[in-house]
Structure 1
Amino acid sequence: MSGRINPSAAALDDGKRRWTFAELDDEAARLAQRLRAVDCRVVATLMDNSPAWVVADRAALQAGLVHVPLPVFFTPEQIGHALGAAGVDTVLTLPALAARWPQVPAIECAVAGQPLAMLRLPARPVPMAAGTAKITFTSGTTGSPKGVCLSEAAMQRVALALVQAMEPLDIRRHLCALPFAVLLENIAGVMAPLLKGATCVTLPLQSLGLSGSSSFDAERFHEVVVAQQPNSIILLPQMLRAWAGHLIQSGQRAPDSLRLVAVGGAAVGVKLIHRARALGIPAYEGYGLSEGASVQTLNLPGSDRPGAAGRALPHAQIRIAQDGEIEVAGSLFGGYLGSDAAAPAWWPSGDLGRIDDEGFLHIDGRKKHLLITAFGRNVSPEWVETALRSENAIAQAVVFGDAQPALSAVLWPLRPDASDAALQAAVDAANAALPDYARVRSWVRGRAAFSVEAGTATANGRPQRVTVLQLHADALGMTAASSIDPEFS
C-alpha cells in the first residue's frame, strides 16, 4: 500500500459496508496465508463483483500465485478449458457455483464477509511465461479461449500510468460497472483507483442492471449512478448507448459528480460521444489490448478528439506498420498460455489505424475483417457498423459484403418495439454520411440478441461474425461458409 494513502480511508464499498485500506490489506494477508497453507500455485476466481473478489486478487499477488479470473458468463466448456489449460489447482467460488464440481469437496471459506467455497482440483503444473501473475482468457469464437499471461510489473505500469494521466481529475469514487474478470475493469477500475487511494464501489452486477454478459437495464443503472454519485465509470459502447437513450426518453441528465466515463471494447462513434456529453455524461473513448495489459490510449479532458481513441498513455508506445496495422509496445504480455513464443518488442494488434499530427490514434477496423466488394472497393465493416450504431434506433449491427455487389447488415434494435420503418430511417441516416460503396443496401433483424450466451458477441460487445452469418445467411441470401475467417472475434 502506498505511503500516501490513509489506512483508514474507504477502499471498498459494496453498498452495505465499507472496507478501509487497512482492512483490505488484512483480509488479503489472511487469504494469502490460507492459500499458501494448502500449497496453492494457480488460483481461479469464479464469482460476481464483490469485495471478496478484490481481496482474492490482492491475496494472489501477495502470495506470489497465478490468478485466473473466470467470468461467470463463460460456458461450462470454456471454464473447463481454462482450468485445465492454466493448471488451476484451487478455485474460489460461490457455494451455489461449487455444485458444478460435485465430486470435489468444498471447503468453507469466508472472505470479506462473503461465504465462499474453496475447491482443490487435481492439477499438474503447466508451462507458462516467466513471471506470470495473471492469466486473462479472451472470449473467442470457440470453447477454447486464449490465455494471455501477464506479469505483475506490466499490470502495475498500466495502473500507475492511468493514475498519472488522470491526476487532474482527482477521482475519489469509482463505480465498477463491468465484471472484474474483464481485464479492463480489473486494472483500470480496481488496481488504478486503489493505487490512488480512491474508493471502489463494488456492487453485484445485477443490482446495476447488468445480467449475464450483455443484458443491460439502463433505467436501473441510472438509479444506481444517481444513488452512488461516482466520479468515474468504465462502460462498453452498447451500455453508453442504452444509458443515453434512457436519459433522452426520460428527460433526465447524468449526475454532476461524474468527471470521467471511459468507454472502450469497441468503436464508439462521434455522434454517441456528443450525445452522451449533451446529457451530462463525460464520455471519453480509449483503446487497448489484453496483450498490452488492457489500456494503451485514452481521450481525457484537455486532451480530447471525439472520433479518435486518444493519445498514448505514459506506459505505452504506438506506431503504424507499412500495411496500416497498429503496433503497440510497453507493458506487453509474456506470451500466450501453451505457446513457447514470447511477445515481440512491438505487438501487432490486428487493428488498422493511423496517428494524426497531434498524436491521436484513429482506429479503422480489424485487419482480417476487411471486405472487398465485387466492385473491388475495400471496406472496413467496423466503419459502417459504427455509423449504424450511432443512430438512436440501432443497438448493434454486423455488416457483410465480401465479394458481394453491395453491403448488407444484421441489425438489433435499441428498443424491442422499434418498427421496421424506424430501423430503415436509421439506416438511411447512416448511409447519408457514407460514400456509395460503403452504404448498406439491405438489412434483416437479428434472430438472437447479441450476447455471449447466444454466441453472437464477445464479452466486450464485439460481434461473433461467423455465428451471426450462420444465423442469418438464408435471410441475407449469402452462404454461411463464404469467406469469413473462423478466427473472427
Structure 2
Amino acid sequence: MREFSLPALYEVPADGNLTDIVRRNAAQHPDVAVISRKVAGAWQDVTARDFLTEVRAAAKGLIASGVQPGDRVGLMSRTRYEWTLLDFAIWCAGAITVPVYETSSPEQVRWILSDSGATACVVESAGHAAAVESVRERLPALKHVWQIDAGAVEELGRLGQDVTDRTVEERGSIAKADDPATIVYTSGTTGRPKGCVLTHRSFFAECGNVVERLRPLFRTGECSVLLFLPLAHVFGRLVQVAPMIAPIKLGCVPDIKNLTDELAAFRPTLILGVPRVFEKVYNSARAKAQADGKGGIFDKAADTAIAYSKALDTPSGPSVGLKIKHKVFDKLVYGKLRTVLGGRGEYAISGGAPLGERLGHFFRGIGFTVLEGYGLTESCAATAFNPWDRQKIGTVGQPLPGSVVRIADDGEVLLHGEHLFKEYWNNPDATAEALADGWFHTGDIGTLDEDGYLRITGRKKEIIVTAGGKNVAPAVIEDRIRAHALVAECMVVGDGRPFVGALVTIDEEFLGRWCADHGKPAGSTAASLRDDPDLLAAVQSAIDDGNSAVSKAESVRKFRVLSAQFTEDSGHLTPSLKLKRNVVAKDYVDEIEAIYAK
C-alpha cells in the first residue's frame, strides 16, 4: 500500500457557500469582466457587478415561484451564459441544481427529475420542453418548467419584481458548506445513473485548490478560459466555478463544432478540454498539411516537437542542433498551430480520458503545454493534475492539494479529502460500498511514483482475463489505437478467449479526406470500405502502434472494422463519451464471434 498527499493551498470557508463568490467579486472586482456571452454573434463582457445583479433577478423569480430552500431544480441545456447565470441563481434561492444532459432521452429525463424530486426545471429549447412534458404525469413533484429560448430569464425577472434584495441575501446564506450544492447524475456505463451529491465544500476544496496550485494560469484581469464542455458533466462545472473563484473571464459556447472560429474570436489564455479535442486539432492540422502538399514538413516538425519536449526532461536539455531545428519549425508550423488555438494561450488542462504521451510531448513541444489530470464525478472533477511548473507527461499528476491518494494492495486507487462527494442520493447501499472505511474506492487501477505522480492503468471491472490467464487492461492499448486520425473508437475484447481482439470504428469526419488521398470514390462510407485492403492496412498500422505499447500477450491479434460509429444516440457512448462496453458487446456479439471464428 502506498499513499501521497499535498498540503491544502486554499482555506475552505467554514460556513459559506458558492453564492459568496459572486458577492465577493462584485465587491472586490466590480468592473472586472468575469463572464462573456454571445450577443448577435459577438462576445459581450459582463462585469462582476452586473453578473450579481442578473443572478439576483433570476433568484427572485425562483423565490416568487415558490422554490424553497433545499428544493431541487433541474437544469437542461447546452453550455451557454444562461446555464451559469441560472446555476448561481438557484444557489442564491437556497436550492440545489440538478443538471440534465441536453441530449437525454425522455426516460432519462424522467429518472433524474423523479429520483431527485425536482420541484422545478429550466430547459433550453422547445424540444427539451417536449421531452419533459412527455413524462410530466410521472413527475408529481414538478411544479414549474421554464424555457430559456422562450424567455425564461426575462420571465423570472418579471416574476421576482416584488422580492427584495434582502430576501435573496437571506436565502443565499441559508446553505452551509456541508449542504448539497448539486446532484450530478453519473453517466451510467452500467445500470441507472446514480445521483452524486456534491456539497458547497466539495467545490470550494476542488476549485480553490486548483486555482491556487495553477495560479499563473488564473491571473485576474489578464487570463480567460473558454468553456465548451457540457455543464451537466462535473468537469464542465469545474471550468465554470474555478474562473469565478479566481476570478478570470469565462466564455461559454455550446459545442466544439466551430471551435477553431470560437477560439480565434475569444482568444482564451487557458483551454480545458478532453483528449478528443486535442487529437482533432493535431489530426486536422496534419490532414491540412498533407492536402497542401506539406505533409512531410509537418511530420518532421511533429517529430522535432516531440524530441524537443522529451529532451526538456533530461539533465542536459535539448541539444544545440535540436534547438535550431525547433526554432525553424516554430516559424513554419508551431506558430500557426498556436494561432489555431487562439494565439494567446500557453496552457491547457485535459481530463476525462488519457491523453497519450506522444500527444502530450507534441503539444508541449510546440509551446502549448497540455496538463493532464484525472478525476471522477465523485471527486468533484480533478483529484489529481500535473502542476504547471513540474509536469510529468504520461502521468495524471499529483493529488489535489489538501487530499490524499492511496494505492490499495490490489492496485485500486483510493481517495480522501474535502472535495469528495457526500453520498449517492437515495442510495445508502451504494454510498456505503463506495465510501468504505472513509476512503472513496474509485474502481480504477493505478500506481504512484516516488514524487507522488499518479498513473492510471485501467479499470478493475474492465480488466480482461484471456483463456491463458493473462490480465489485460484495455485502456493502454485502446488509447494508443484511437490516437490514429482514421480511428474514432476502439474496444478491446478477449475475456475468456485465446487472444485479444478489437472492434474498431472509423472517424466519419476524417474518412472523406482519407478517401480523396487514397483514390477512393467520393461519398464512400465505413460500411462500403470495411473490407477495403487500403483501409484495413491503415487500421492495422494503428493496431501495430497500439501493440508496441504492450506485451505480446496483451497485443491485438485480430480486429473487425464496424460499419458505423459508436454514438450517444446509438446507445454505445455515455454523454461524457465513455464506452458502454456491455452494450457494445451485446449489440456486436456477431462481430466479436467473427474475430474468434476458425
Report TM bin, short chain. 0.7 to 0.9
* C-alpha distance 45-190 of structure 1, shift in aligned 2 (>3 A): same
- Paired position in structure 2 for 1:216: none
Alignment pair present for 1:226 and 2:244? no
Alignment pair present for 1:92 and 2:140? no
- Paired position in structure 1 for 2:393: 306
2:500–2:555: 8 Å Cα contact kept in structure 1?
yes
* C-alpha distance 298-368 of structure 1, shift in aligned 2 (>3 A): same
After TM superposition, the structure 1 stretch with the greater mean CA deviation from structure 2, 15-24 or 377-386, is 15-24
Superposition deviation, residue 393 in structure 1? 3.4
- Paired position in structure 1 for 2:207: 159
Alignment pair present for 1:318 and 2:405? yes
Q: Which amino acid aligns with 1:328?
A: L
- Paired position in structure 2 for 1:435: 551
- Paired position in structure 1 for 2:380: 293
1:44–1:88: 8 Å Cα contact kept in structure 2?
yes
Match of 2:570 among 447, 454, 459: 454
Match of 2:233 among 168, 171, 182: 182
Match of 1:374 among 458, 467, 472: 467
Q: Distance in 1 between matches of 2:149 and 2:506?
A: 41
Q: Distance in 1 between matches of 2:486 and 2:469?
A: 31
1:408–1:443: 8 Å Cα contact kept in structure 2?
yes
Q: Which amino acid aligns with 1:2?
A: R
Q: Distance in 1 between matches of 2:547 and 2:146?
A: 58
- Paired position in structure 2 for 1:484: none
Superposition deviation, residue 111 in structure 1? 10
Q: Distance in 1 between matches of 2:372 and 2:182?
A: 26
Q: Which amino acid aligns with 1:144?
A: R
Task: Give the secondary structure class of the aligned counterpart of 2:489.
Answer: strand
User: How many corresponding residue pairs?
Assistant: 457
Q: Distance in 2 between matches of 1:200 and 1:352?
A: 34
- Paired position in structure 2 for 1:66: 96
Match of 2:422 among 313, 327, 334: 334
Which runs of 5 or more residues in structure 2 are unaligned? 1-22, 137-142, 157-176, 290-335, 515-534
- Paired position in structure 2 for 1:21: 48
* C-alpha distance 108-265 of structure 1, shift in aligned 2 (>3 A): closer
1:266–1:461: 8 Å Cα contact kept in structure 2?
no
2:209–2:401: 8 Å Cα contact kept in structure 1?
yes
Cα deviation 1:131-173 (Å, max 9, x = unaligned): 2220001111367311101111111111101110110234511
Task: Give the secondary structure class of the aligned counterpart of 1:397.
Answer: strand
Which runs of 5 or more residues in structure 1 are unaligned? 119-128, 210-219, 481-489
Task: Give the secondary structure class of the aligned counterpart of 1:261.
Answer: strand
Q: Which amino acid aligns with 2:454?
A: L
2:122–2:148: 8 Å Cα contact kept in structure 1?
no
| 1:57-206 correspondence runs (5 A) | 57-96=87-126, 97-102=128-133, 131-141=179-189, 144-171=192-219, 172-187=223-238, 189-205=239-255
Q: Distance in 2 between matches of 1:272 and 1:467?
A: 30
Whose helix fraction is larger, Structure 1's or Structure 2's?
2
After TM superposition, the structure 1 stretch with the greater mean CA deviation from structure 2, 427-436 or 81-90, is 427-436
After TM superposition, the structure 1 stretch with the greater mean CA deviation from structure 2, 341-350 or 152-161, is 341-350
Match of 1:416 among 498, 511, 514: 511
Cα deviation 1:27-69 (Å, max 9, x = unaligned): 1112222212222221111112121111111112222211101
Match of 2:86 among 53, 56, 72: 56
Q: Distance in 2 between matches of 1:142 and 1:448?
A: 22
2:218–2:243: 8 Å Cα contact kept in structure 1?
no
**TM-score calculated relative to the size of structure 2:** 0.72
Q: Which amino acid aligns with 1:203?
A: V
1:52–1:114: 8 Å Cα contact kept in structure 2?
no
| 1:394-409 correspondence runs (5 A) | 394-409=487-502
Q: Distance in 2 between matches of 1:273 and 1:248?
A: 16
Q: Distance in 2 between matches of 1:93 and 1:479?
A: 45
Two-structure CA RMSD over aligned residues (Å): 2.6
1:47–1:53: 8 Å Cα contact kept in structure 2?
yes
1:9–1:20: 8 Å Cα contact kept in structure 2?
yes
Q: Distance in 2 between matches of 1:150 and 1:387?
A: 33
1:238–1:461: 8 Å Cα contact kept in structure 2?
no
Alignment pair present for 1:32 and 2:59? yes
Q: Distance in 2 between matches of 1:465 and 1:177?
A: 26
Which entry has the higher C-alpha Rg, 1 or 2? Answer: 2
- Paired position in structure 2 for 1:213: none
**TM-score calculated relative to the size of structure 1:** 0.87
